[in-house]
Structure 1
């Protein structure tokens, strides 16, 4: 009986000693794998309707002549107005759109030659143009071009004549999204209205008007 008990204890000790070895030889289940969650990326959307206002400095050139007499002059003054448009984001970087603006100007100058004292002025102008831009996240550079309108008036020797002139415009600028809705921009705009004819009590005057403006704008994108 004593021998049987001793044999049982020996068998138990042997089994306990080899159990870890058998457990190590058993196939092990792989640890569960988890895919890394990508960090959220901010998506900047330039698409939508926008409105804004701008202020700047305009440089006007009146290339006037009457009966072979040169009466050209140039002037500069403050410009300020409103704009509205629509952007469509074709790709994450390419933006196309259309825009219209209206600005008041302070362009007025006089010149005397050949017995005629001629005053030239333009009090407002407007642009209807297409835009194409390239964005870098919250920043965009763009070019624009289209139709231009402006009022032109010449007066001299007690007579005056005025008209709304039609021309073309081109320009370029840079714009930034300060927030997802508020934008700022800095741009250069050129307008050319070609030659316009005026009549001052039977005396013909030809005026070739062009205008350059550098302006800063603040807008809101809906």
Structure 2
């Protein structure tokens, strides 16, 4: 009687259940929209037609694309063919855009508006729901996005009506938004897997800055309102190790 050969663990018995951690890299592209509101109506603000010209010059959109890369960790639980989990990740990005517009106020002359926006890093915390075909899992995901947003705006008021210099607005804030997307993950052994995924990130935020009155020098402040609507797309690949 021949001895029975020992049976080695098989990938056919693979389960997605467990903790994992890994790294990712990919591309990202973003659409940055901003709106500048300049109060009008006359004293102590701009006359209405000049306020409209300045607001229009400071309202628009720009695009940026770059590289994104970082780390992720999470936990999966498999029930029959369904996989439920949660994942957190943090990544650095190279997103950086700027633009400059010239404008003419009907009553005063020419001026300029410039803006630059950066997204140095981005993090998400997302539930995941997947369906397992053995070594392959398709999943959908969505949840919280946390982004560092750096913005700088300069509005140079026409010299003819300003004795107090430009409106300068600069902020570097951590902004909360939302994200949704999906992907596919393939396990090539019982510990290692590779994945490809797409995420969409939506952000909307606003702030108010104060500038010196173009009519009354240092005595009056003008409440410019700056609002931002950012849309970020992420396409990346990653590798995970399950413990």
Pairing of 1:1-222 with structure 2 (within 5 A): 42-67=12-37, 68-69=55-56, 70-91=59-80, 93-113=81-101, 114=103, 115-157=112-154, 159-197=169-207, 199=209, 201=211, 203-222=224-243
Structure with more helix by fraction: 1
Structure 1: unaligned runs, 5 residues or longer: 1-39
Superposed displacement of residue 200, structure 1 = 7.0
Task: From the superposition, tell whether residues 111 and 87 of structure 1 become closer, same or farther in structure 2 (CA, over 3 Å).
Answer: same
CA contact (8 A) 2:206 2:228 kept: yes
Q: How has the CA–CA distance of structure 1 residues 72 and 198 changed in structure 2, closer, same or farther, with 3 Å as cutoff?
A: farther
In 2, are the aligned partners of 1:161 and 1:200 still within 8 Å (CA)? Answer: no
State the number of aligned residues.
182
List per-residue Cα deviations over 1:155-191 (Å, max 9, x = no partner): 1335411211111110100000011101100000111
| Cα-to-partner distance string for 1:1-45 (whole Å, 9 max, x where unaligned) | xxxxxxxxxxxxxxxxxxxxxxxxxxxxxxxxxxxxxxx973111
Query: CA–CA distance in 2 between the matches of 1:97 and 1:104?
Result: 24
Structure with greater contact order relative to length (CA < 8 Å, sep ≥ 6) = 2
CA distance in 1, matches of 2:209, 2:26: 32
Displacement over 6 Å in runs of 4+: none
TM-score, normalised via structure 2 length: 0.71
Contact 2:192 2:240 in 1 (8 A): yes
What is the Cα deviation at residue 54 of structure 1? 0.3
Larger Rg: 1
Q: Report the secondary structure of 2:13's partner residue.
A: coil
What TM-score comes out, normalization by structure 1 length?
A: 0.77
CA separation of 1:198 and 1:62: change in aligned 2, threshold 3 A: farther
Higher strand share: 2
Q: Considering only aligned residues, what root-mean-square deviation do their CA atoms show, in Å?
A: 1.7
